[in-house]
Amino acid sequence: MFEGTYTALVTPFKNGKVDYPSFEKLIERQIEGKVQGVIPAGCTGEAATMSPQEQLELIQFTVEQVKGRVQIIAGTGSNSTREAVEMSEKASKLDIQGVLVITPYYNKPTPSGILSHYYGVADASKVPVMVYNVPGRTGTKISAETIAELAKHPNISSVKEACGSVDQVCDIVSQCDVNVLSGDDGLTLPMMSVGAKGVVSVSANVMPAEVSAMVKCALEGDFAAAKIAHYELLSFHKSMFAETNPIPVKTVLGEMGLVTKELRLPLEYGKESTVELAHKLIADYNLKA
């Protein structure tokens, strides 16, 4: 169901509150860049530091701003199954096309617990569920075998795979027909070469047209053109890991004047070297606000 480029939107803050005028401009930037969808209230959007009410308001604003022009996959995950179920149930009543649900973090659930968690969310949600496998954030890796079991649920349609492993994608694709989207910008093309269908992108916050163009080439089988675009973007993708996500991407956006220079603690705006890197990227890629 989900193919192409989906931008994991940052959440602009101003004086501790969501900066909706800036968020509106970010959404329009994505639509102009021809992405297939946007993801509000995900990890890149600092959802872990937002209240449930703030998350729902952000998702509702996204619905009202998008007006059906692109797909919306709302971040509704939590390390508490009850909270993830409640958030997914509420968000899925809005005009969205899916929910993105992270593996429960800190708890380190067993494979059986992971199955029960996602089945509970999938039963409650009125829209398809995208599993988010990111062991670097959660401390738990979902195996390909467990993903294959999850894919048997009729409402679990896809997985955002951020293990940093092309082998993991191969194992998933060989065991089930769930749609795999890359959760690592720099691995999007390698993952698509073995069966992934696109990317949930951080870099697209800044360069939506360039990321979506590369993914489109790969989906159409033009891997020669996709390879050229991949290497043109690779330095930028790698720079987004100079500090913890979303610090680098927000620093680039902040230095471009697209968002205020504000994150929520415990994250902070980029350190001096990250700000210098942001200015280099802006110059090297001729980035415009």
Q: Which residues are catalytic?
A: 132, 160
- Helix (H) or strand (E) run with residue 259 in it: none
List CB contacts of 53: < 8 A, sequence separation 6 or more: none
In sequence order, what DSSP letters do the residues of 113-170 get, joined into one string?
A: HHHHHHHHHHHH-SS-EEEEE-HHHHS-PPPHHHHHHHTTSTTEEEEEE-SS-HHHHH
- In this structure, the number of other CB atoms found within 10 A of the CB of residue 283 comes to 9
CA dist 5 and 129 (Å) reads: 17
Structure-token match 């569920």, residue found: 129
For 222: left if phi > 0, alpha if psi spans -120 to 50, otherwise beta; the answer is beta
